[in-house]
Amino acid sequence: MSRHWDEEVEVLVVGSGFAGMAAAIEARRAGATVLVLEKMASPGGNSVISDGSVAAAGSALQRRHGIEDSPDLMVRDMLRAGLELNHPALARLVADSSAAALKWTIDELGVRYQDRVLQFGGHSVPRTHATPGLSGAALFRPLLQRARDLGAEIRTGAFVEGLVRDPEGGVLGTRVRVGYTFPDAASGRPLTCRAARGVVVATGGFASDVAFRTVQDPRLTPAVASTNHPGATAEMLKELLRGGAAQVHLSWIQLGPWASPDEQGNGVGPTFATYVAFPFGIVVDPATGQRFVNELADRRTRVEALLGIGHPAVAIADTAGVALSGQRIAKCLRKGVVRSFDSLAELARAYGVSPAALERTVATYNEHVARGEDPELGKPILAGAPRLGSPPFLAMRVWPKIHYTMGGVQIDADAQVIDLDGRPIRGLFAAGEVTGGVHGACRLGSTSIMDCLVVGRIAGTRAAATANDRSGRGRVRPRTTPAKRRRNGSPAEG
């Protein structure tokens, strides 16, 4: 316990991505002074490099396009993909709040979305709302600007070394190194920062932390690439675990089936694979020329199928699929990750596929499209899906990369971090990928940003409602009633 504080603020937010910014906004709206600490040189982390796609059930855009959806269906999809290892109350919290949180990004932040709803793998219906240009920055920048407009301070190059605790285990503040340069843990000047109300941890996952991830899954060696930014490491997660936080699902680590071995990091290829080839094309094993997986299955299913064939597969679409997707793939072609061919035979030869086998596979797939169902592998044939036959044909190699860590610390529906005895740790909240339980064994695409928004908003609101005196003896202000929450636009309702 520190007897001297270099700085004091009411709510400290550690991490500056979607969850951290949502928490900062709601804490400021609740009247608390807010300081956001970000270890990297610029804010945003993985949020900035994400595709900005947000899953919401029962949205106005879905209704306008005649899509029937509900939080109940979204929860069922999440539990099915997660092998029912999801903590049901947390999955329910995200699904129930999703439409209102989406509306909040539009009304409060001014975010705009494409006038279409996409269907990602594992979702029963189209419920993914995409920003123009598939840009995470298109969602993050309004969050950052709103937090700043409300008076939250965002400090970069500020590495949180640890939490300051009181004798009873409550969290009073943090030990920070300011002027920090990643990844030099000794860089920067140490200071202590008091959080008079609460600390919100929103530091993301650990996909780039080779040492920590291989402890959880020894197969994820340095030879396995990651889509994450370099700072997606486990320092703060380990500090939470040292402090007695309960851990959930740390060994469930998701690989993305859309990544290409022909580029570094996430790259540009996933735009083609996710939004064009998977929904409106096919994926074939170059050794056989045949499809081997439902291209719109959940991520775990597709990754396991790819690993099962033991080498990169080829994702194929045509110009009709590109047109229907509404996506721009010029950058994919310019970088050479996606290639264009005048015929299927030419494409087959380029990837070492039997031209005859590929022709048969495409013919069979086109029969499925014409029939509106895929009895072979069970892929949903989307409304208006074209037959594969409009040259030029487009293709890229796909192979999994580490993308998301489902595990983290346990939280409750108030975003309070839970200890090993099942009790909330006073003054400590968490949101986003640093937490576990929402997604179980497999996260459905576009649910993570919604998770960050929903739980981040709750964390900020609840942290601002916690009052700790300097001895660390704190109390949480009573919840407002449902009627008051609706009037106040509380994230408990959205």
- 111: tokens are 């975010």
Task: List beta partners, residue 7.
Answer: 193
Distance between CA atoms of residues 38 and 305, nearest Å: 38
Residue 493 CB-density burial (10 A; 0-12 exposed, 13-18 middle, 19+ buried):
middle
Active site residues: 299
Sign, CA dihedral 428-429-432-433, equals positive
Main-chain dihedrals φ then ψ at residue 424, nearest 5 degrees: -65, 140
- 271: tokens are 């735009």
Binning the chain into helix, strand and coil, the percentages to the nearest 5 are 35, 20, 45
The b/e string for 119-134 (b: 16+ C-beta within 10 A; e otherwise) is bbbbbebbbbbbbeeb
Q: Which residues contact 448 (CB under 8 A, 6 or more apart)?
A: 404, 432, 433, 439
Max CA pair span of the chain: 76
- Give SS3 for 271: helix
- 374: tokens are 């895929």
If we measure between CA atoms, which residue out of 414, 280, 392, 297 comes closest to residue 342? 392
Distance between CA atoms of residues 469 and 474, nearest Å: 6
Sign, CA dihedral 407-411-417-420, equals negative
